[in-house]
Amino acid sequence: MAKVSVTSVELPPRPQLFDFHGVSMTNIFTDNWENIQNFQARPDDILIATYPKAGNTWLSYILDLLYFGQTSPEHRTSLSIYLKVPNLEVAIPSLQQGTEMLDNLSTSPRLIKTHLPVQFIPKSFWEQNCRIIYMARNAKDSVVSFFHFERMALIHPEPGDWNSYLQRFMEGKMVFGPWHDHVSTWRKKKENYSKLHYMFYEDLVEDTGREIDKLCCFLGLSPSAEEKETILGKVQFDKMKTNDTVNHSKYRGMDLKKSSFMRKGKVGDWKNHFTVAQNEEFDEDYKKKMKDPTLQFRTEV
Ligand code: PPS
């Protein structure tokens, strides 16, 4: 079947959540399951893993610039990030599936985006001992960002109103499952998998340069001071917001009248959404679910 571009594709109706091996998912991310599970990772592949809305696009763009910013041909800089860093699990009808895009990707290393919980990662990534970067974002800002995203992202379920959305987030009935399990089980994986760099969105906001240095250390890269300055300039929120290759503004699947992909990029926007009562209930629920004292999130910087 001829594949059309993501800027012109006719979209299916909004999908429904269903239970998939114990995790809420939609068919957009499970239809290609056999190919996902049999995906052949290469030793130099780099997996960029996050729960939805934790800054995957930001990290993907940083890595793309670190690896290919200096050397890539002119045409590459005008390619959308979803083509340069394909999403492993995505399978939108009539579009190329993530695994197919990755099989056709000619870069080395391949940069690969995923939101899958750790137990769903294809086994070849572990077998090939690939480098994996996991970025986590605090739960309150994650749910706010996810809510606005699902209002506009037509390949996601209808979010409903804010209060019911927040309840559903606490119940873990979100695409890719509960936030609490996602961030905790990925963190646990660090105990027996050394090639996992676990980082926080809040730290990247606080000091992007410092976090890029840590990333480079993990990846074995040593960009010049000038290269680093150039990258820092390009990955600022305001710069990315007006950059069509990363702001998803050309993607038909986003109803830009409802929100924007590069929405606020802040730590603490949850304060503009949570009522006092919602905040108390959320904190109570959080305490019951997040028992690991070594996994601490900042809700303001
Ligand atoms: S997705 O759709 O799940 O892949 O979204 P993801 O890219 O993981 O996360 C989107 C949120 O990341 C914010 N973002 C940034 N914040 C600060 N600085 C920069 N440069 C940046 N780039 C992306 C983006 O604005 C989304 O967060 P919210 O809170 O909605 O603004």
pLDDT per residue, tens digit, the chain (301 aa), is: 445 566 666 777 899 999 999 999 999 999 999 999 999 999 999 999 999 999 999 999 999 999 999 876 666 778 999 999 999 999 988 788 999 999 999 999 999 999 999 999 999 999 999 999 999 999 999 999 999 999 999 999 999 999 999 999 999 999 999 999 999 999 999 999 999 999 999 999 999 999 999 999 999 999 999 999 999 999 999 999 999 999 998 887 889 999 999 999 999 999 999 999 999 999 999 999 999 999 999 999 9
- Decide whether any atom of ligand 1 lies within 6 Å of the 247 Cβ: no
| Global pTM value | 0.96
Ligand 1 pocket test target in 88, 263, 266, 271 with most atoms within 8 Å of CB:
263
Does any ligand 1 atom lie closer than 6 A to the CB of residue 53? yes
Catalytic residue from among 21, 75, 115, 182 = 115
Residue nearest atom 1 in ligand 1 by C-alpha distance = 53
Rounded distance between C-alpha atoms, residue 35 and residue 37, angstroms: 6
Which residues fall within 8 angstroms of residue 224, CB to CB, at 6 or more apart? none
Which ligand 1 atom is the nearest neighbour of the CA of 239?
A: 20
User: Which of 6, 65, 142, 261 most suits a substitution to test ligand 1, by most atoms within 8 Å of the C-beta?
Assistant: 261
Delineate the domains of the chain, giving CATH numbers in brackets: 23-138+176-254 (3.40.50.300)
Quote the CA–CA distance of 71 and 66 in Å, as a whole number: 10
C-alpha span between 190 and 175 (Å, rounded): 23
